[in-house]
């Protein structure tokens, strides 16, 4: 409660200062990530993290964090412009972040949260922040663009420093050798201790291994990215007539072949695709107006890593009115689909050459050709294809008074190999898949998407071995032979297994406080395993093979288990983590003392000091058994009489009767005396 109150005061003060102080200037194109709703249950959560910069690959998140995983809105907890990441990328206020926990609240119950990107990330212009690392620690792991592990030394180069977003003095420390961010030395549960990172290589997955050191741990994660424009100009360089540049179509392609956007120039030839995530390798392709020819290449590779207006982020093209006589054709695959970006070379009779690339429709055109014979056109077969049945050269072309069309090529698309890598019943993202040629040579590699699927395009015919690197904690077959011919090969799957786990917490039923030192026994196919709860009342038993398991809590002396002290769970080959196996303890009430009656038949008119359940000295040492008096009530000794073995009301009634009889006799005697007097 104190911690929350302090946080509220700090945030209120920060908001007040923000209102009074002008915010520092920052690029409006820097945006904090968004999240899809969380799905799953304890120890099996998933969601999608999407950077708001267009062109940044989305990431599928999977976590074995225990409950409760949450997506706070960022309205009350955020990174303002006084923090290092906020100063560079702008405040995260109003942008959601994710709260995650360990697998179990024990030192051995670390959770692993993996973000598997659908394509390799940019190698600049984005960051992530780990927050509230005070009594805990987080190890950072990653895979590179080929799916290989990123060394700790490389990850350490991403570390930009630690800070405290709540204004406190507590900051975590960074261990470069183990790529681990650790909270304060005393494992005190403070607030706002954070570290931030800017990756400088392309990665395909990012994992956080979160370990509790003390308290009730939780940590936060933010993502942010930077976008910059991609633009250019299509110029008409016709010497006679004109080319309608506004009829051109430009296509933006990602570094991984995905079509991101199309646009057309304004009347002055300028165009812009807007802002995209900063990286190298974008391709802009020009589809010329129908009545125009492209001067030079019809595609350009651009980079928007630099500042706004950087020439590297521009793709400029030239077109002109067609000059007789043109030679044209198309490049298509064996299924009839256009092949854009293929390089085609024209050789003229005078020994000169010209080179262009096919547009998005697979078409190409060379103009300004003199009449004559001896022209030839050659196709450079693009990656992922083989030459078609008609070869890759068209020779002995004659240019006369009419355009030369129909110089077409067909290429055969190489086969693909696809499959799924699963583990624990779920798809595993970020796993490297390799096709190793049987005859030697470089392997063809890729990385699984967030759902565990993968696709290797353009695989030449031959015999291969498909291999994967099993993630830590998983086992099973990691290689299998694959024969590739002309057709696609599907279903090259890998089904990994992992051991399961049982975890929970023991608490006090009345206060809810954790109870340490309680013995919990988990018995299954391999026999019983006994553990004791830690300071947080937690326990976890890992590396459990499939089977039925009985969990039994041994209540310490003076306590009892509320409800059943034993329960049964099942772990399958999917390796479930059976968390939430919680138990509550209650104190056992002390038994009420049993009154011991005294069998003395003579009532003692003198009240005896002492409680009613204390026998009179000298009484019967073996009194008859008395009925259970029920719950004892504390009564003053002076207000009660000692038990004598019989009901005390009998003697009271007898005394009253004797007094009444005596009164009657006295009255009668007096009347007689008066009568005789």
Q: What is the pLDDT of residue 405?
A: 96
Q: How far apart are CA 594 and CA 592, in angstroms?
A: 6
Residue 31 structure tokens = 């945006």
Please name which of 208, 78, 237, 218 lies closest in space to residue 140, comparing C-alpha atoms: 208
Tally helices (H) and strands (E) across the chain: 4, 47
pLDDT surpasses 50 at 104:
yes
Phi, psi for residue 259 in degrees, rounded to 5: -75, 120
pLDDT at 121 over 60: yes
Q: Is the dihedral of CA 82, 86, 89, 95 positive or negative?
A: negative
Least confident range from 179-188, 400-409, 530-539: namely 530-539
Nearest 10 degrees: Cα torsion 568, 574, 578, 579: 180
Please report the pLDDT score of residue 586 as a whole number. 95
Q: From CA 186, how far away is CA 128, in angstroms rounded? A: 26
Instruction: Determine the pLDDT at residue 5.
Output: 41
Model confidence at 20: pLDDT above 50:
no
CA angle 343, 348, 350 (to 5 degrees): 145
What pLDDT does residue 594 have?
A: 60
Q: Which fold has domain 415-497?
A: Immunoglobulin-like (2.60.40)
* pLDDT for the residue numbered 475: 86
**pLDDT for 21:** 34
Q: Counting beta carbons within 10 angstroms of the beta carbon of residue 602, is it exposed (0 to 12), middle (13 to 18) or buried (19 or more)?
A: exposed
Which tens digits make up the pLDDT trace of 559-586? 999 999 999 999 987 788 888 899 999 9
d(CA 347, CA 235): 26
The edge-to-edge listing of strands for the beta sheet with 547-554 is 527-532, 519-524, 547-554, 566-571
pLDDT at 218 over 90: yes
Q: In this predicted model, what pLDDT tens digit does every residue of 131-142 receive, in sequence order? A: 999 999 999 999
617 CB burial (10 A radius; 0-12, 13-18, 19+) = exposed
CA–CA separation, 55 vs 380, rounded Å?
29
Q: For 641, phi and psi rounded to 5 degrees?
A: -105, 150
Domains 229-321 and 326-412 in one fold: yes
Q: Is pLDDT above 80 for 91?
A: yes
pLDDT band at 19 (very low <50, low <70, confident <90, very high): very low
Q: What are phi and psi of 505, to 5 degrees?
A: -145, 145
Domain parsing of the chain, residue ranges: 29-226, 229-321, 326-412, 415-497, 500-586
Top pLDDT among 383 and 24 is at 383
Percent pLDDT > 70 in the chain is: 82
- Residue 151 clears pLDDT 90, i.e. is over it: yes
pLDDT for res 601: 52
Residue 669 scores a pLDDT above 50: no
The rounded percent of the chain whose pLDDT value lies above 90 is 69
pLDDT digits (tens, 9 = 90+) for 597-637: 555 555 444 443 333 333 333 333 333 333 333 333 232 23
Enter the tokens of residue 498. 């992992």
CATH superfamily, domain at 229-321: Immunoglobulins (2.60.40.10)
pLDDT of residue 460: 93
24 C-beta neighbours (distance < 10 Å), count: 12
Which residue shows structure tokens 């990328």? 89
| β-bridge pairing 363-366 and 409-413 | unpaired
Q: What is the pLDDT of residue 498?
A: 82
- At residue 541 the predicted structure's pLDDT band, cuts being 50, 70 and 90, is very high
pLDDT of residue 312: 87
Q: In the structure encoding, which two tokens stand for residue 373, read together? A: 């014979």
* Nearest alpha-carbon partner for 233 in 264, 254, 257, 196: 264
- Decide if 447 contacts 430 (C-beta within 8 A): yes
Assess contact for 232 and 301: CB atoms under 8 A: no
pLDDT at 568: 97
Q: What pLDDT does residue 309 have? A: 61
Q: What are phi and psi of 138, to 5 degrees?
A: -135, 130
- Which residue in 249, 257, 200, 233 sits closest to 311, CA to CA? 233
Phi, psi angle pair for 16, to nearest 5° = -65, -45
500-586: CATH topology is Immunoglobulin-like (2.60.40)
Q: What is the CATH number of domain 326-412?
A: 2.60.40.10
- Give the tokens for residue 238: 């016709």
SS3 669: helix
Task: Name residue 378's beta-bridge partners.
Answer: 345, 393
User: 90 — phi, psi (to 5°)?
Assistant: 95, 160
Closest alpha carbon to 517 in 527, 502, 530: 530
Q: Are strands 98-100 and 219-236 parallel, antiparallel or unpaired?
A: antiparallel
| 590: confidence class by pLDDT, cuts 50, 70, 90 | low
- 53-77 pLDDT, tens digit per residue, is 999 999 999 998 988 899 999 999 9
Please say if the pLDDT value at position 106 is more than 80. no
Which whole-number Å values give the CA distances from 37 to 34, 49, 74, 451, in the listed order?
10, 10, 15, 16
Query: Is residue 672 over pLDDT 70?
Result: no
Q: Which residue has the higher pLDDT, 657 or 501?
A: 501
The whole-number pLDDT of residue 550 equals 98
The residue with greater pLDDT, 599 or 22, is 599
pLDDT at 308: 59
Pairing label, strands 203-212, 136-144 = antiparallel
Largest CA distance in the chain: 180
Instruction: Kindly tell me if the per-residue pLDDT of 108 is higher than 80.
Output: no
User: What distance in Å separates the CA atoms of residue 287 and residue 228, rounded to the nearest whole number?
Assistant: 24
- Listed in sequence order, the residues at least 6 apart from 133 whose beta carbon sits closer than 8 Å to its beta carbon are 172, 181, 182, 183, 193, 194, 195, 219
What is the tens place of the pLDDT at every residue in 449-472? 888 999 999 999 999 999 998 887
Over residues 375-385, the mean pLDDT reads 96
Q: 501: which 2 tokens?
A: 């786990």
pLDDT surpasses 80 at 226: yes
């Amino acid at each position: 409660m104190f911690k929350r109150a302090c946080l509220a005061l700090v945030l209120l003060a920060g908001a007040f200062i923000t209102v009074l102080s002008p915010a520092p200037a920052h690029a409006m194109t820097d945006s904090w990530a968004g999240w899809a709703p969380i799905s799953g249950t304890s120890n099996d959560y998933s969601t999608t993290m999407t950077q708001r910069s267009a062109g940044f690959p989305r990431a599928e998140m999977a976590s074995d964090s225990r409950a409760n995983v949450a997506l706070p809105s960022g309205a009350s907890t955020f990174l303002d412009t006084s923090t290092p990441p906020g100063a560079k990328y702008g405040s995260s206020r109003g942008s959601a972040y994710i709260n995650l926990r360990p697998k179990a609240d024990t030192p051995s119950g670390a959770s692993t949260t993996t973000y598997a990107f659908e394509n390799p990330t940019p190698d600049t212009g984005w960051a992530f922040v780990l927050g509230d690392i005070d009594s805990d620690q987080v190890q950072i792991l990653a895979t590179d663009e080929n799916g290989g592990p990123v060394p700790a030394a490389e990850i350490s180069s991403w570390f930009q420093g630690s800070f405290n977003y709540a204004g406190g003095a507590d900051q975590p420390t960074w261990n470069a050798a183990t790529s681990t961010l650790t909270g304060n030395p005393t494992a005190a549960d403070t607030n706002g201790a954070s570290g931030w990172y800017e990756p400088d290589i392309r990665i395909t997955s990012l994992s956080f291994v979160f370990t509790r050191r003390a308290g009730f741990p939780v940590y936060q994660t933010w993502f942010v990215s930077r976008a910059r424009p991609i633009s250019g100009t299509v110029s008409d360089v016709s010497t006679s007539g004109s080319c309608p540049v506004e009829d051109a179509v430009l296509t933006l392609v990602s570094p991984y072949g995905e079509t991101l956007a199309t646009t057309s120039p304004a009347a002055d030839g300028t165009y812009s695709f807007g802002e995209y995530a900063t990286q190298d390798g974008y391709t802009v392709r020009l589809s010329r107006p129908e009545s125009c020819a492209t001067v030079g290449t019809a595609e350009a590779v651009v980079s928007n890593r630099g500042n706004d207006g950087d020439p590297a982020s521009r793709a400029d093209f030239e077109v002109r009115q067609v000059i007789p006589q043109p030679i044209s054709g198309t490049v298509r695959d064996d299924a009839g689909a256009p092949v854009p970006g293929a390089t085609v070379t024209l050789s003229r009779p005078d020994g000169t050459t010209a080179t262009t690339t096919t547009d998005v429709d697979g078409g190409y055109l060379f103009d300004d050709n003199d009449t004559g014979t001896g022209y030839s056109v050659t196709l450079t077969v693009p990656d992922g294809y083989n030459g078609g049945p008609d070869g890759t050269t068209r020779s002995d072309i004659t240019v006369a008074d009419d355009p030369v069309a129909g110089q077409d090529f067909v290429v055969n698309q190489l086969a693909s190999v696809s499959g799924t890598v699963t583990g624990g019943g779920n798809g595993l993202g970020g796993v490297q898949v390799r096709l190793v040629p049987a005859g030697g040579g470089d392997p063809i590699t890729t990385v699984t998407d967030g759902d565990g699927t993968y696709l290797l395009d353009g695989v030449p015919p031959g015999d291969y071995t498909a291999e994967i690197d099993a993630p830590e904690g998983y086992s099973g077959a990691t290689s299998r032979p694959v024969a590739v011919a002309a057709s696609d090969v599907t279903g090259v799957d890998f089904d990994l297994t992992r051991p399961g786990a049982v975890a929970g917490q023991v608490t006090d039923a009345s206060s809810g406080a954790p109870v340490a030192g309680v013995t919990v026994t988990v018995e299954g196919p391999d026999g019983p395993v006994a553990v004791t709860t830690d300071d947080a009342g937690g326990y976890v038993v890992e590396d459990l093979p499939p089977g039925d398991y009985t969990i039994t809590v041994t209540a310490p002396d003076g306590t009892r288990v509320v409800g059943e002290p034993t329960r049964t769970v099942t772990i399958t080959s999917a390796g479930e983590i059976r968390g939430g196996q919680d138990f509550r303890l209650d104190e056992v009430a002390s038994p009420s003392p049993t009154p011991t009656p005294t069998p003395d038949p003579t009532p003692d008119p003198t009240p005896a000091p002492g409680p009613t359940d204390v026998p009179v000295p000298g009484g019967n040492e073996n009194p008859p058994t008395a009925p259970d008096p029920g719950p004892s009530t504390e009564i003053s000794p002076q207000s009660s009489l000692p038990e004598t073995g019989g009901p005390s009301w009998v003697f009271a009634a007898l005394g009253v009767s004797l007094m009444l009889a005596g009164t009657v006799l006295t009255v009668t005697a007096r009347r007689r005396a008066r009568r005789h007097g």
